[in-house]
Amino acid sequence: MSRIGLKKKIIPDNTEVSVDGSLVKVKGTLGELSRKFNDAVKIEVKDGEVVVAPKDSSVFAKSMWGTASSHIQNMLSGVNKVFEKKLIIEGVGYRASATPKNIKLTVGFSHDVDLDIPEGIKVEVEKESIVVSGIDKEQVGSFAAKIRDVKKPEPYKGKGIRYADENIIRKEGKKAV
Residue-level pLDDT at 6: 84
Q: Which domains does the chain have, with CATH numbers?
A: 3-78 (3.90.930.12), 83-163 (3.90.930.12)
Q: Which residues contact 31 (CB under 8 A, 6 or more apart)?
A: 79, 120, 135
**Could you tell me which residues come within 8 angstroms of residue 139 by beta carbon, excluding any fewer than 6 positions away?**
118, 120, 121
pLDDT score of 174? 84
The pLDDT profile of the chain, 177 residues, written as one tens digit per residue, is 678 888 888 999 899 999 998 899 999 999 999 999 999 999 999 988 999 999 999 999 989 999 999 999 999 999 999 999 999 999 999 999 999 899 999 999 999 999 999 999 999 999 899 999 999 999 999 999 999 999 999 999 889 999 999 999 999 888 877
Report strand pairing: 16-20 vs 23-27. antiparallel
